[in-house]
Structure 1
Amino acid sequence: MDAKMFCFQCQEAAKGTGCTIKGVCGKDDETANRMDLLLFVTKGVSVVATLLRNAGVEVPAHINRFVVDALFSTITNANFDIESITGRIVNGLKFRDQLKEEAAGHGIELPVIDELVWKGDESTFEGKALTVGVLREANPDIRSLKELIIYGLKGMAAYVEHAGNLGFEEKDLHAFIQHALAETLRKDLSAEQLTALVLETGSYGVKAMALLDKANTSSYGNPEITQVNIGVRNNPAILISGHDLKDMEELLAQTEGTGVDVYTHSEMLPANYYPAFKKYKHFVGNYGNAWWKQREEFESFNGPILFTTNCIVPPLEEASYKDRVYTTNSTGFPGWKHIPSREDGKTKDFSEIIAHAKRCDAPKEIEHGQITGGFAHNQVMALADKVIDAVKSGAIRKFVVMAGCDGRMKSRNYYTEFASELPSDCVILTAGCAKYRYNKLPLGDIGGIPRVLDAGQCNDSYSLAVIAMKLQEAFGLEDINELPIVYNIAWYEQKAVIVLLALLSLGVKNIHLGPTLPAFLSPNVAKVLVENFGIGTISTVDEDIEKLILA
Structure 2
Amino acid sequence: MFCFQCEQTAKGTGCTQVGVCGKRPDVAALQDLLLHVLKDLSRVAVAGRKAGVTDPEVNAFTVEAAFSTLTNVDFDPERFVALIRKGAALRRALAEKVRAAGGDPGDDAEAVVPAETLEGLVAQGERVGIKADPEIDPDILSLREAVVYGIKGLSAYADHARILGREDDEVYAFVHEALAATLDAERGLDDWLDLVLRTGKTNLRAMELLDEANTGTYGHPVPTRVPLGARKGKAILVSGHDLKDLEEILRQSEGKGIYVYTHGEMLPCHGYPGLKKYPHFYGHYGTAWQNQAKEFPLFPGPIVMTTNCIQRPMESYQDRIFTRGLVGWPGVRHIPDLDFTPVIAKALEMPGFPEDTDKGSVMVGFARNTVLSVADKVVAAVKGKAIRHFFLVAGCDGAKPGRNYYTEFVEKVPADCVVLTLACGKFRFFDKDLGEIGGLPRLMDVGQCNDAYSAIRIAGALADAFGCSVNDLPLSLVLSWYEQKAVAILLTLLYLGIKDIRLGPTLPAFLSPGVLDVLVQRFGIRPITTPEDDLRAILG
Q: Structure 1 residue 103: deviation in Å?
A: 2.4
Contact 1:487–1:511 at 8 Å: present in 2 too? yes
Instruction: Tell whether 2:502 aligns with 1:515.
Output: no
**How do residues 104-183 of structure 1 correspond to structure 2 at under 5 angstroms?**
104-112=99-107, 116=111, 118=113, 120-122=115-117, 124-137=120-133, 138-183=136-181
Q: 1:116 to 1:527 in 2, by over 3 A?
A: same
The code of the aligned residue for 1:206 comes to: L
Contact 1:300–1:363 at 8 Å: present in 2 too? no
Q: TM-score, normalised by structure 2?
A: 0.97
Instruction: Tell whether 2:498 aligns with 1:503.
Output: no
**How do residues 234-313 of structure 1 correspond to structure 2 at under 5 angstroms?**
234-313=232-311
1 CA distance for matches of 2:108 and 2:440? 57
Q: Structure 1 residue 179: deviation in Å?
A: 1.1
The code of the aligned residue for 1:533 comes to: F
**How do residues 313-324 of structure 1 correspond to structure 2 at under 5 angstroms?**
313-316=311-314, 319-324=315-320
2 CA distance for matches of 1:290 and 1:127? 35
Contact 2:178–2:195 at 8 Å: present in 1 too? yes
The code of the aligned residue for 1:270 comes to: P
Deviations 1:230-271 (A, max 9, x none): 110111111001111111111110000111111010001111
In the other structure, the counterpart of 1:344 is none
1 CA distance for matches of 2:4 and 2:464? 39
Alignment partner of 2:199 out of 195, 201, 204: 201
1 CA distance for matches of 2:109 and 2:153? 26
In the other structure, the counterpart of 2:390 is 399
The code of the aligned residue for 2:76 comes to: D
Q: Which secondary structure state, in structure 2, belongs to the residue aligned with residue 39 of structure 1?
A: helix
Instruction: Tell whether 2:479 aligns with 1:489.
Output: yes
Contact 2:52–2:101 at 8 Å: present in 1 too? no
Q: TM-score, normalised by structure 1?
A: 0.95
1 CA distance for matches of 2:358 and 2:126? 47
Alignment partner of 2:399 out of 408, 417, 420: 408
- Give the aligned length: 536
1 CA distance for matches of 2:382 and 2:114? 63
Q: 1:73 to 1:547 in 2, by over 3 A?
A: same
The code of the aligned residue for 1:404 comes to: G
2 CA distance for matches of 1:496 and 1:117? 30
Deviations 1:203-234 (A, max 9, x none): 11111111100110010010001101111011
Q: Percent identity?
A: 49
Q: Structure 1 residue 60: deviation in Å?
A: 1.8
The 4+ residue runs of structure 1 with deviation greater than 6 A are 364-367
2 CA distance for matches of 1:547 and 1:413? 19
Q: Structure 1 residue 140: deviation in Å?
A: 1.3
Q: Which secondary structure state, in structure 1, belongs to the residue aligned with residue 304 of structure 2?
A: strand
Alignment partner of 2:21 out of 4, 25, 37: 25
The code of the aligned residue for 2:93 comes to: Q
Q: Structure 1 residue 107: deviation in Å?
A: 3.5
1 CA distance for matches of 2:489 and 2:13? 22
In the other structure, the counterpart of 1:56 is 52
The code of the aligned residue for 1:499 comes to: I
Could you tell which deviates more after superposition, 23-32 or 115-124?
A: 115-124
Alignment partner of 1:46 out of 42, 46, 53: 42
Q: 1:405 to 1:113 in 2, by over 3 A?
A: farther
Contact 1:40–1:115 at 8 Å: present in 2 too? no
In the other structure, the counterpart of 1:94 is 89
In the other structure, the counterpart of 1:14 is 10
Deviations 1:273-293 (A, max 9, x none): 001112211101111101111
Alignment partner of 1:418 out of 403, 409, 422: 409
In the other structure, the counterpart of 2:527 is 537
The code of the aligned residue for 2:361 comes to: Q
